[in-house]
Amino acid sequence: MENTFVLSKQIHHERQELCTNRPRYRQGKKLTAVKVYSVVDESQYLLIDKVPAIAVTAELETLCQGFGSIEYLKHLPDYPTEKFCEVFQVKFHTIQSARFAKRKMDDRNFYGGTLHVCYAPELETLNDTRSKLNNRRQEIENKLKAPQNRKHKLLSATSTSAEQVHCPSLVIKEPISDSNAECFTTTEPPNSEESQKVTVAGKQPQPVCEPPKKRIVYHVSSKTPR
């Protein structure tokens, strides 16, 4: 449901100067004024300031929907801003979408103007704040469980591979019975007669069949030489 709270300009809505004295290991690739937001500062509600006043509400709504589903987008005509600019209030369904939209839309060029996006946690209701805190608590629990689950999977995979290496007999599922015995050949020298026979379990040895011999007939002429 849309919030009917009348919004006034506050300190955290204003654009702050970029921080240049931050340690190098915390600076990152892009200069920012604020590096980390707490769960209290973040919100599903965003304020989009310095939107050019050229009737681009539909285009702004399309831009917001590209970062996640939104509940509504409302124009704030009484909010103080620069001349020929407008301010909009947007509410996302999830705080993850709002976080992503705030990071991508802030300082973005939009129809000749540079947008300024900030969080508006003062617009939250009691249910919104409760849902935000519960969601944050669940995220922390999942991050704490992830290393333990990864370690458990690694140990189970290592133990399974070790058992297969030291106990290769575990691979055989059924013992070989006499009725299912397969054919095998004797290990006697190849010159012996027994090496030419195939022994099958439960059957008499059969000699190897020899190929048929060809018979050559010579025709002798009955005429005698002169």
Asked whether the predicted pLDDT for residue 6 surpasses 80, the reply is no
pLDDT class for 221, splitting at 50, 70, 90? low
- Pairing of the two strands 45-52 and 70-75: unpaired
Q: Percentage of residues in the chain with pLDDT exceeding 90?
A: 30
pLDDT class for 8, splitting at 50, 70, 90? confident
- Only one residue has tokens 């005509």, namely 77
C-alpha neighbours within 13 Å on the C-beta side of residue 214: 2
Residue-level pLDDT at 223: 56
Contacts of 168 by beta carbon, 8 Å cutoff, 6+ apart: none
163 vs 170: CA distance, rounded Å = 9
pLDDT class for 59, splitting at 50, 70, 90? very high
Q: What is the number of helices (H) and of strands (E) in the chain?
A: 4, 6
Beta bridge partners of 119: 46
Q: What is the DSSP letter of 20?
A: -
Minimal CA–CA distance to 38: which of 12, 18, 75? 12
Q: What is the average per-residue pLDDT within 145-174?
A: 64
Of 16-25, 160-169, 184-193, give the range with the top mean pLDDT: 16-25
Q: What angle do CA 138, 144, 148 make, to 5 degrees?
A: 130
Query: How many Cβ atoms from other residues are within 10 Å of residue 150's Cβ?
Result: 10
Minimal CA–CA distance to 34: which of 8, 68, 50, 11? 11
Express each pLDDT in 88-129 by its tens digit.
Answer: 999 999 999 999 999 899 889 999 999 999 999 999 999 999
Asked whether the predicted pLDDT for residue 200 surpasses 80, the reply is no
Task: Quote the mean pLDDT of the chain.
Answer: 76
Asked whether the predicted pLDDT for residue 30 surpasses 70, the reply is yes
